[in-house]
Amino acid sequence: MHTLYRILMPAGIASMLFLSGGIIAHAQTGTTSTTGTTTASTTVPGTPNTGAGASAPMNLALLGVSALMAIGGVGYLARSGATPVR
């Protein structure tokens, strides 16, 4: 079981670190081309981007692929009757 952790934990952590940067960019509300304008005394901001749905196809695809990876791995172990690696 100890070896199992040795493999699973770094893999999970590495994937989280790798994905966090990319996913944040997709899951966030993004940016628009509406930028602020400066008047004589104040800065007027552009309007916010409050629709994250544009990232939904990418996020759903990532969810599907990652779920298939995990299920595939579990399926392989179940079929092979594998014991923890030593």
Amino acid identity of 6? R
Contact flag: residue 66 with another protein (CB under 8 A): yes
Residues contacting 4, CB < 8 A, separation 6+: 84, 85
Is residue 49 within 8 Å of residue 30, measured between CB atoms?
yes
- Euclidean distance between CA atoms 82 and 86, whole angstroms: 11
Contact flag: residue 1 with another protein (CB under 8 A): no
Contact flag: residue 40 with another protein (CB under 8 A): no
Contact flag: residue 2 with another protein (CB under 8 A): no
Give contact residues for another protein (rule: CB under 8 A): 4, 7-16, 19-20, 23-24, 26-39, 41-57, 59-60, 62-63, 65-74, 76-77, 80, 82-83, 85
